[in-house]
Amino acid sequence: MKYLDLTCATPAENLACDEALLLEVEEGSAAEALRLWEPRGSFVVLGHGSRTEREVALAACRAARVPVLRRPSGGAAVLQAPGCLNYTLVLKITPRGLADVAATNAYVMTRLKSALEPLVGAPIAIEGFTDLAIGGRKFSGNAQYRKKRALLFHGSFLLDCDLHLMEKLLLAPPRQPAYRQRRTHGEFLTNLHIPADALKTALREGWGAEEELRRVPLDSIERLTRSRYSLKEWNFRI
């Protein structure tokens, strides 16, 4: 598995980069990859099927000049902001036995739990389908997007994120796991308060991502940014 530590210049480019990496593995022109990146500013990302008015406080986003974008994977809206660390896994489906969504969730979440527990020094629970939590409070949400031969599995880790800003910009998700118990974002979420570099090292070791990915699909990132992730027709289609 190759390793890429790359934060693109804009929110749209960061989302496009994930899909560009997926398309290369799907086409058979690149190896599996682990990408890590950290937001330079704040922006909201809707899930593929998220209804904007049900999950995002749009007036508050406009007032704070926080852009709203949409990703191709499932799940609810999230806030990307400084203090978050994002990872992206691009995996081949058949060799790893990832034939369906449930099998993939179990495989990836178990690997993440094993990689992170020694670092955080506390038991980590896999909650809902793709949440990681400590003491009943969530610090990571994850989602996947599948093609025929490869899949994208990505998520965020809360390290030192502004949870008050999250309260202002995100509404309570319409579908909630039972363990949330209708708690607000501030009551439900927690920061890990560990250095991003330490978490990056744990993820690289956990996934055996030793060799750096040197050929970044810049043309594909630019094309996807222009044709999808920067368009209102995509970001506000629901």
CATH number belonging to domain 2-235: 3.30.930.10
For the chain, the domains span 2-235
Distance in angstroms (rounded) separating the CA atoms of residues 198 and 188: 24
Average pLDDT of the chain to the nearest whole number: 96
Task: Answer whether residue 137 shows pLDDT above 90.
Answer: yes
Nearest residue to 78 via CA among 45, 119, 36: 45
- Residue 63: what residue type? A
Output b/e per residue, 189-202; b: 16+ Cβ within 10 A.
Answer: bbbbebebeebbeb
Q: Once rounded to an integer, what is the mean pLDDT over residues 203-232?
A: 97
Percent of the chain exceeding pLDDT 90 equals 97
What's the pLDDT tens digit per position in 12-47? 999 999 999 999 999 999 999 999 999 999 999 999
pLDDT score at 103: 96
Distance in angstroms (rounded) separating the CA atoms of residues 98 and 153: 11
What's the pLDDT tens digit per position in 52-90? 999 999 999 999 999 999 999 999 999 999 999 999 999
Distance in angstroms (rounded) separating the CA atoms of residues 230 and 118: 39
Q: Length of the chain in residues, anyone? A: 238
Q: What is the pTM of this model?
A: 0.95
pLDDT score at 129: 87
**Integer CA distances (angstroms), 4 to 86, 191, 204, 237, in order:** 12, 24, 10, 31
What's the pLDDT tens digit per position in 155-191? 999 999 999 999 999 999 988 999 999 999 999 999 9
pLDDT range class, residue 125, cuts 50, 70, 90: very high
Task: Answer whether residue 238 shows pLDDT above 90.
Answer: no
